Amino acid sequence: PQTIYLRDYRVPAYLVDTVDLRFELFEDGARVHSTLAVRRNPESDAGAAPLELDGDSLVLESVALNGQALAEGAFEDRGDKLIVASVPEQFDLTVVTWIEPQNNTRLEGLYKSSGMFCTQCEAEGFRCITFFPDRPDVMSRFRTRIEADRSAYPVLLSNGNDVERGELADGRHFVTWEDPFPKPCYLFALVAGDLVEKRDAYTTGSGREIDLRMYVEPRNAEKCDHAMDSLKRSMRWDEEVYGREYDLDIFMIVAVDDFNMGAMENKGLNIFNSSCVLASQDTATDLAFQRIEAIVAHEYFHNWSGNRVTCRDWFQLSLKEGFTVFRDSQFSSDMGSPTVKRIEDATLLRTAQFAEDGGPMAHPVRPASYMEISNFYTLTIYEKGAEVVRMIHTLLGPELFRKGSDLYFQRHDGQAVTTDDFVKAMEDASGRDLSQFRLWYEQAGTPVLNVSDDFDADQGVYRLTIAQAIPDTPGQTGKKPQHIPFALGLLGSKGESLPLRLAADQGDAPTDRVLELTQAEETFEFHGLAERPVPSLLRQFSAPVRVHYPWTREQLLFLMSHDPDGFNRWDAGQRLAVDVIQSLIGTPKDTAVDSRLVTAYRHLISDSSLDQALVAKMLQLPSEAYLIELSDSADVPAIHDARERVLKHLAIALRNELVACYRRNLESGAYAVTPDQIARRSLSNTALAWLLQINDEEGRELALRQFRSADNMTDRLGALRALVNSDYEDDRAQVLEAFYERFRDDPQVVEQWFSVQAASDRAGQLPQIRALLEHSAFDWKNPNKVRSVIGAFAGQNLAAFHHPDGSGYDFLAEQVCRLDDSNPQIAARLVTPLTRWKKFAPAYSERMKAALERIRDKTGLSRDVYEVVHKSLA
């Protein structure tokens, strides 16, 4: 496979002003008639170059220029390109292709899912539908006519407004859609199926009435309310916070079961993975409700950050994804608990994105090269990209940031632009110089901040010295220091916030401030302090960096109870727990656990005056994945064992407090997804899980009762998970069986049932995983099923996956090879756990490497998997 470089970018030689599509949909295939109004690009110096269109898996039936069929020899069909050597300056090109959606298992382009036709065109799926300049800087107005059997496909949808419909011979019908907004072809969408329609309406700030419609399979008709409400909240929020109003008269959401991604922001016609949009109290957990709200918002926000202003090329992917993730996280923060949201975002970043940034697939937020763009829908592009935007927001403040985003949308509406254009708008609106800040887009790797301090008691001066270093990553060494917003506070011995007075300050000094780091090393002096303070560093996780500072356990305990910054209170607890767990790795079973950890947790569990949402987060011990990420040569079974010992020690010591906590938080009143209720359910289910880890009989009875009587999925699944992860084998089998029998007809719930087992060190050992793959509800063609068994096993059941005999690695390699032929995007995703092989102790890493080599040696490896495997072995 070829590597594509950012530096090779050239403007397109030809532009396409309009696209006229006609789809004839049949059971054995589809015929696509496409007429493009093409003209030479005045900004290109390619002159009368041949016209080159992209294609993939197409059967070409005919080509005509200005209505005249082209003879053999006037064009060349190379499979991945259609080349017309000689074309005038301006012309219509009509291409007819035949495709087979019913056999499309890659789920790119037009395919069938549960009997309906649907599309996924980002990034390069449109070329699987027809020959086209498949690049985001070619923006066209689309008109789409869909023809299909009326009884099997009564609903026919595409982007924009439906302008015409009618009957055809043989029980067929058609609908024509017109999208007035020019768009890149990756935003094209088509849906045809037997779907029920849920309607609602929204009135914009300027008084326009928008028709909101959801289309789902009839069995899901009762699972739409939450997404619809989330959509309306998103529309309101984007008007209030960003001044962005919706622009078409109709906004549609469709749910499909087979989908590679979470959802897709096609103009006016968002297509969602069912698991990211359908919810009811009985079938979806709190987590799912929150995720759905966030994803509906994300896709809706793309209408401006992505669709109205789009990417010039795929190296700029973070332009839309980083910005839109930032926007959806602001939204979620406003809808729920800001501190909890920040903890969740930072946890994902520190666990998974840091791992990516320290591994063989590390790449900058704006990559310089790729082989397969699908491999770059990563945590770095999305989550780190969002952190980069968030840092701009922190540096500019909310008002100037809004000025910057207004300027960006105004300046670039209708254009395909770059991350640099985004930063430039922020600079121009604020007057700030972000030239050094741009390194965040160019340099990969997680900056490491080493912080040291000293206190001069005579002068009352506290000096903080911060050194930054950015590790080497593939293809990048000797990096320059970055511009880092570093929020901090200083605490006095009674827990009071001390003034942060720098030498240059006049007047009152703040107790919370953001330092701007720009040098490899710099020292800040805080004046007027009577005693040595305890530093609270990187408050709110103000930058995606690692901070090293030698806090003592006493200081961490102090910050856990006194830091006014909720995020850092949580972080102090995490650091303490990490320290305690790490010190136990590889020690004898009876090594004592620091009793101060027990005291701290007792306080958290018992003091109901604390913010319960924060407490629910603080009670979660650092995950195995995070502990692995923090180590250089991980021995996973040893990490698993040490973490479990700490958990059991806490559970035994706090047994009575856990029972009391469980009872105190038992649900009363009607189910609602509010921060308060979410916290209560999280606390009671954590208590239950801990009690079952120590074979507590009362805990067992509470879990069984909760399983039977729960009126919502969070509690039902909480009880199920606690029992599945316990030593009560008979109960485990019974609840698993009962759960399946009740929900066997609901794919989203069956997926949860699969992953509870696959992620469990009790129910998810390799023979059991293999049995799940044989289960009648498992379906290799459905990405959600693959993720819920194979993904959950390799990503969450870490002690089983890292079995010392290497069987987990071999298993994963086998499944990757199997999936590579049918769905390369999903296969490439599944490789991820193996790419981290250098992180593990030699006995493990050698076997992981061998598994990667086995995948490498498969014949006919897809470009997707090829890139991941070869980069990992390089």
Catalytic residue ranges: 299
Nearer to ligand DPP, 286 or 328 (CB): 328
CB of 493 to ligand DPP, least distance (A): 47
Q: Which residues pair with 111 in a beta bridge?
A: 118
Among 56, 238, 258, 299, binds ligand DPP (CB under 6 A): 299
Distances 280 to 264, 459, 681, 754 between C-alpha atoms, Å: 22, 63, 17, 19
CB of 469 to ligand DPP, least distance (A): 32
CB of 784 to ligand DPP, least distance (A): 15
Question: Residue 227 binds what, of Zn ion, ligand DPP, none (CB under 5 to 8 Å, by partner type)?
Answer: none
Among 265, 372, 387, 696, binds ligand DPP (CB under 6 A): 265
- What are the backbone angles phi and psi of residue 27, rounded to the nearest 5°? -70, -30
Nearer to Zn ion, 276 or 449 (CB): 276
Distance of CA 543 to the CA centre of its chain: 19
- What are the backbone angles phi and psi of residue 313, rounded to the nearest 5°? -155, 170
In order, the DSSP letters of 216-245 are E-GGGGGG-HHHHHHHHHHHHHHHHHH---
Pairing of strands 196-203, 190-193: unpaired
Distances 192 to 82, 271, 597 between C-alpha atoms, Å: 28, 12, 58
Are 539 and 512 contacting, i.e. CB atoms less than 8 angstroms apart? yes
Site for Zn ion in 311-330 (CB under 5 A): 321, 324
Distances 296 to 263, 321, 340 between C-alpha atoms, Å: 8, 14, 20
- Token output for 619: 């009670």
Nearer to Zn ion, 320 or 393 (CB): 320
Question: Taking contact as CB under 6 A, which single stretch among the options 259-267, 366-374, 703-711, 741-749 is the one that binds ligand DPP?
Answer: 259-267
* Location of structure tokens 């000025």: 403
Cα radius of gyration rounded to whole Å, the chain: 28
CB of 348 to ligand DPP, least distance (A): 15
- Residue in 595, 601, 500 with CA at minimum distance from that of residue 560: 601
For 362, other C-beta atoms within 10 Å of its C-beta total 21
Determine the longest span between alpha carbons in the chain, in angstroms. Answer: 95
264 binds ligand DPP (CB under 6 A): yes
Distances 197 to 153, 156, 252, 303 between C-alpha atoms, Å: 13, 12, 10, 22
Question: Taking contact as CB under 6 A, which single stretch among the options 205-213, 258-266, 406-414, 592-600 is the one that binds ligand DPP?
Answer: 258-266
CB of 121 to ligand DPP, least distance (A): 10
Question: Taking contact as CB under 6 A, which single stretch among the options 129-137, 257-265, 539-547, 795-803 is the one that binds ligand DPP?
Answer: 257-265
Sheet of 513-517, strands arranged across: 513-517, 484-491, 534-537
Are 744 and 750 contacting, i.e. CB atoms less than 8 angstroms apart? yes
CB of 346 to ligand DPP, least distance (A): 20
x/- map, 268-307, Zn ion, by CB under 5 A? ----------------------------------------
| Interatomic CA distance for residues 346 and 623, integer angstroms | 13
CB of 24 to ligand DPP, least distance (A): 28
Nearer to ligand DPP, 320 or 575 (CB): 320
CB of 579 to ligand DPP, least distance (A): 36
Nearer to ligand DPP, 307 or 677 (CB): 307
Question: Taking contact as CB under 6 A, which single stretch among the options 52-60, 263-271, 400-408, 693-701 is the one that binds ligand DPP?
Answer: 263-271
Are 148 and 112 contacting, i.e. CB atoms less than 8 angstroms apart? no
* Location of structure tokens 């000096």: 463
SS3 535: strand
- Residue in 55, 17, 12 with CA at minimum distance from that of residue 37: 17
Q: Which residues pair with 537 in a beta bridge?
A: 488
826 binds ligand DPP (CB under 6 A): no
Nearer to ligand DPP, 309 or 798 (CB): 309
261 binds ligand DPP (CB under 6 A): yes
CB of 15 to ligand DPP, least distance (A): 23
Reading phi first (left if > 0) and then psi (alpha if -120 to 50, else beta), residue 605 is in: alpha
348 binds ligand DPP (CB under 6 A): no
Nearer to ligand DPP, 237 or 809 (CB): 237
Among 24, 321, 427, 657, binds ligand DPP (CB under 6 A): 321
Distances 300 to 193, 529, 535 between C-alpha atoms, Å: 23, 49, 40
Question: Residue 264 binds what, of Zn ion, ligand DPP, none (CB under 5 to 8 Å, by partner type)?
Answer: ligand DPP
| Interatomic CA distance for residues 274 and 747, integer angstroms | 9
For 795, other C-beta atoms within 10 Å of its C-beta total 18
766 binds ligand DPP (CB under 6 A): no
Q: Write b or e for each residue in 317-334: b if 16 or more Cβ atoms lie within 10 A of its Cβ, otherwise e.
A: bbbbbbbbbbbbbbbbbe
Among 87, 185, 255, 263, binds ligand DPP (CB under 6 A): 263
| Interatomic CA distance for residues 584 and 560, integer angstroms | 21
x/- map, 730-769, Zn ion, by CB under 5 A? ----------------------------------------
Question: Residue 122 binds what, of Zn ion, ligand DPP, none (CB under 5 to 8 Å, by partner type)?
Answer: ligand DPP
Question: Taking contact as CB under 6 A, which single stretch among the options 7-15, 100-108, 157-165, 260-268 is the one that binds ligand DPP?
Answer: 260-268
Distances 661 to 52, 606, 718 between C-alpha atoms, Å: 66, 7, 15
Nearer to ligand DPP, 56 or 299 (CB): 299
Site for Zn ion in 605-644 (CB under 5 A): none
Q: Write b or e for each residue in 70-94: b if 16 or more Cβ atoms lie within 10 A of its Cβ, otherwise e.
A: eeeeebeeeeeebebeebeeebebb
122 binds ligand DPP (CB under 6 A): yes
Nearer to Zn ion, 293 or 321 (CB): 321
108 binds ligand DPP (CB under 6 A): no
CB of 391 to Zn ion, least distance (A): 19
Q: Is the dihedral of CA 628, 633, 639, 640 positive or negative?
A: positive
Pairing of strands 461-469, 521-527: antiparallel
How many residues line the site for Zn ion (CB under 5 A)?
A: 2
Site for ligand DPP in 139-178 (CB under 6 A): none
820 binds ligand DPP (CB under 6 A): no
Interacting residues toward ligand DPP by CB under 6 A: 122, 261, 263-265, 298-299, 321
Chain residues in the site for Zn ion (CB under 5 A): 321, 324
